[in-house]
Amino acid sequence: MGYPKLPSRQENFAEWYNQVVLRAELADYAPVRGCMVVRPYGWALWENIQKALDQRFKATGHQNAAFPLLIPMSFFEREKEHVEGFAPELAVVTHGGGKKLEEPLAVRPTSETIIGYMWSKWIRSYRDLPMLLNQWGNVVRWELRTKLFLRTLEFYWQEGHTAHATREEAEEETLRMLRVYEDFAVNEAAIPVIPGQKSESEKFAGAVHTYTIEAMMGDTKALQAGTSHFLGQNFARAFDIQFLDADNQLKYVWTTSWGLSTRFIGAIIMVHGDDQGLVLPPRLAPIQVVIVPIWRDDAQRSQVLEMAQRLQRQLGQRFRVHLDDRDHVTPGFKFNDWELRGVPVRVEIGPRDVANQVVTLARRDQPGKAGRTTAAWEGLEDRIAALLDDIHDSLLRRATAFRDAHLHRPETYDELGQVVQNGWALVGWCGRAECEARIKADFKATNRCLPFVEHRPTEAPTRCIVCGEPARHWAIFAKAY
RNA sequence: CGGGGCGUAGCUCAGCCCGGAUAGAGCGCACGGUUCGGGUCCGUGAGGCCGGCGGUUCAAAUCCGCCCGCCCCGACCA
C-alpha cells in the first residue's frame, strides 16, 4: 500500500504540520529536547532564503560579519529591559576545559550586547557612521514549548545591527528593513504580510519600538515572520557607544536591529501547504522542476531516459532541475513523493510524449488533472518560466484571499471573542496594556500589531473594543504561534 | 513548573488487566522476480537489553516502587 496518507489540514493542522516537516525531510528531531536537525532539503530551502535576503541587505548597503557565540554574562546586565527579557531563556556555560569559569558565558540569544561592546571600540567619529552590519548565525533561547522550525532551542537566522548618528536615520533604517522583509515575503515566498508596529507589551526587550510583519497561517493563527527594532540609545548608553559629531559634540549613537529566522520556513509550510504536503513558492524551492520519466520495458527505458537527460541539461541552464530516474519505484509513487516535497513543476515524459515531441507539465498548486497540460519541447523553457511565475502569482493571490476572508472587524467584545477563534480581528484599541491582557486572558488572542496605514481602515478608530474608552489605534488581535 | 497521556522492530501499534516456553502484525528496509501515464504485486530475508534501575516471584514486556524521556493542554516566547 505504500505510505499512509497525511492527516488532513482540516482534521489536525498541528499533526499535519509535523508530518509534512518530517516526511518531506526538511528537518528531524535532535537528541536534545527542543532541538532540530535541518536536513539537506530543508537547508537548501534556507540557503535560497538566505540568498534572496542577503542580496537585499547588500543592495541597501549592509556588510556581513560574524560575532562570537559566547558572551560574558555581565553584558546582559547592562541593559535593564534586555536582561529582564532574556534572562529566563539564557543557556549558560559554566565550565570550560574541565574548570569552572570565573565568569559564566551566555550562549547568545541575540547579539546586541556583544556587537554594542565592539562598536564602543570601533566607533569614534560621525565619519564611522552609519555602521551597517548583518550576521548569519545561530542563537539559543531556552524555550519551554518547542515546535519544529517555529520555536526551537537553537535556531538559525540573520540579525542585522546598525548604528546611526541621528534618531531620524535610525528610525528610517528600522522601517527600511521591515519593508525589505515585506518585499522578500511577498515577492520571493508569495506570503502576504501585514507590516505594523508592536505594542509596548509585545515589543523586543530593550527596544524603543518594534515593527513586525505578521502572516496568517493556514489555520488562521498569526505568525510573526520578521521583526525590526528601533533601539534608540538604550544599547548605546549601556555599552558606551559614543562618537564625536561634526559639531565637535560627543554623542551616543542610535541603533537598530532586525531579524528573520528559520521560523520563516514554518510560515512557508503553513501558508501554502495542502493535504498532499508541501507547496513551495517557486522562487525559493530547492527543486523548481522535477522530471519523472515513464517507461514499460528496457527499450522504452533507454529511449525515454535519454530524452529526460537531455531535458535535464537543457532546463538546468535556467532552473533548479532534478531528474528522478529511480527505477525501483513507480511513476505514481514519484508523483506523490514530489508533491509531498512541494516541487512547483513536474515534467512527465513517457513513450507517448517522446513520440509526439512533447512533455506533460503538472503544476503543484493545482494537484490532479486540473493542473496538467501538454507542452511541446520547442520553447519549453519559456513555457516553464511563465508557469513558475504564474504559480508564484496564484499562490500569493490564494494566500491573500484566504487572509482577507479571515480578517474581520468585530463591533463588540463578544464578537471579537468569536472572530479570533478562526481569524484575525481588526479593532479599535485604547492603547492600554490592561485591555490587551484582558483579551489574552479571555480569548487567548494577543495584539499582533498596529497595522501600517495601507492595512487599516481610512477612518479613525472610535472606541476601544474592550473598555469603550476613545480608541487611539487600530490593532490586530489574533491567536498566534 | 501544574494538569492529562504515552514509552514493545526504523515507523504505527497489538500483547500487559488475568505472569509461563523461540515476543507478534502492518508499513518501511534488503534481495529476486513482476510492474511502471497516480502511492504495483508475489516470494524470501534482516531487524528487539519490551525506556532505565530496583523489588516481588520457581518464572516479569506483563505485578509493585523509583527514575528518565516524549507528546498534548496552561504559564514564557523569533
Express each pLDDT in A182-237 by its tens digit: 999 999 999 999 999 999 999 999 999 999 999 999 999 999 999 999 999 999 99
Percent of all residues in chain A with a pLDDT value above 90, rounded to a whole number: 80
- Nucleotide with the nearest C1' to A149 CA: B78
User: What are A170-195's pLDDT values in tens digits?
Assistant: 999 999 999 999 999 999 999 999 99
Across the beta sheet with A424-429, the strand order is: A63-64, A131-140, A154-164, A254-261, A222-232, A209-216, A194-197, A446-451, A473-478, A424-429, A407-408
Name the residue among A434, A437, A439 with its Cα closest to residue A421.
Answer: A439
Q: Which nucleotides of B are covered by protein (CB under 7 A)?
A: 1, 26-28, 34-41, 69-78
pLDDT at position A302, please? 92
Residues A4, A203: Cα–Cα separation, whole Å: 43
> What distances in angstroms separate CA A83 from CA A80, A106, A336, one per listed residue?
5, 12, 49
State whether the beta carbon of A6 lies below 7 angstroms from any atom of strand B.
yes
A359 CA to B23 C1', in Å?
Answer: 52
Residue A261 confidence class, pLDDT cut points 50, 70, 90? very high
Q: Which of residues 202-261 of A touch strand B (CB under 7 A)?
A: 204, 224, 227, 259, 261
| Cβ(A236)–Cβ(A225) below 8 Å | no
pLDDT at position A75, please? 93
- Nucleotide with the nearest C1' to A336 CA: B39
Instruction: Say which CATH topology domain A407-478 has.
Output: Translation Initiation Factor IF3 (3.30.110)
A140 CA to B6 C1', in Å?
Answer: 29
A101 CA to B41 C1', in Å?
Answer: 65
> Is residue A1 scored above 60 in pLDDT?
no
A328 CA to B39 C1', in Å?
Answer: 13
Q: Which of residues 139-178 of A touch strand B (CB under 7 A)?
A: 141, 143-147, 150-153, 155
User: What are A324-367's pLDDT values in tens digits?
Assistant: 999 889 999 999 999 999 999 999 999 999 999 999 999 999 98
Residue A4 confidence class, pLDDT cut points 50, 70, 90? low
Provide the mean pLDDT of chain A: 94
Percent of all residues in chain A with a pLDDT value above 70, rounded to a whole number: 99
Nucleotide B12, nearest residue via CA and C1': A4
Please enumerate in sequence order all residues whose Cβ is within 8 A of that of A88, keeping only pairs 6 or more positions apart, or say none.
A142
State whether the beta carbon of A357 lies below 7 angstroms from any atom of strand B.
no
Residue predicted with more confidence, A162 or A481: A162
- Nucleotide with the nearest C1' to A152 CA: B78
> Is residue A287 scored above 90 in pLDDT?
yes
> Kindly report the CA angle at A475 between A473 and A481, in degrees rounded to 5?
155
Multiple choice CATH, A289-387, 3.30.420.40, 3.40.50.620, 3.40.50.800, 3.40.630.40: 3.40.50.800
State whether the beta carbon of A353 lies below 7 angstroms from any atom of strand B.
yes
DSSP A136-171: EEEEE---SS-BTTTB-SEEEEEEEEEEESSHHHHH
- Nucleotide with the nearest C1' to A295 CA: B36
> Is residue A2 scored above 70 in pLDDT?
no
A136 pairs with which residues across the strands? A158
Residues A358, A374: Cα–Cα separation, whole Å: 7
- Mean pLDDT for A438-445 is 89
> Is residue A3 scored above 70 in pLDDT?
no
For chain A, the domains span: 13-272, 289-387, 407-478
Supply the CATH classification number for the domain A13-272.
3.30.930.10
Q: Which of residues 309-328 of A touch strand B (CB under 7 A)?
A: 327-328
Q: What is the dihedral of CA A442, A446, A451, A457, to 10 degrees?
A: -10
Please enumerate in sequence order all residues whose Cβ is within 8 A of that of A34, keeping only pairs 6 or more positions apart, or say none.
A143, A146, A152, A153
> Is residue A260 scored above 50 in pLDDT?
yes
Please enumerate in sequence order all residues whose Cβ is within 8 A of that of A19, keeping only pairs 6 or more positions apart, or say none.
A6, A7
User: What are A464-474's pLDDT values in tens digits?
Assistant: 999 999 999 99
pLDDT at position A153, please? 87
- Mean pLDDT for A258-284 is 95
User: What are A375-393's pLDDT values in tens digits?
Assistant: 999 999 999 999 999 999 9
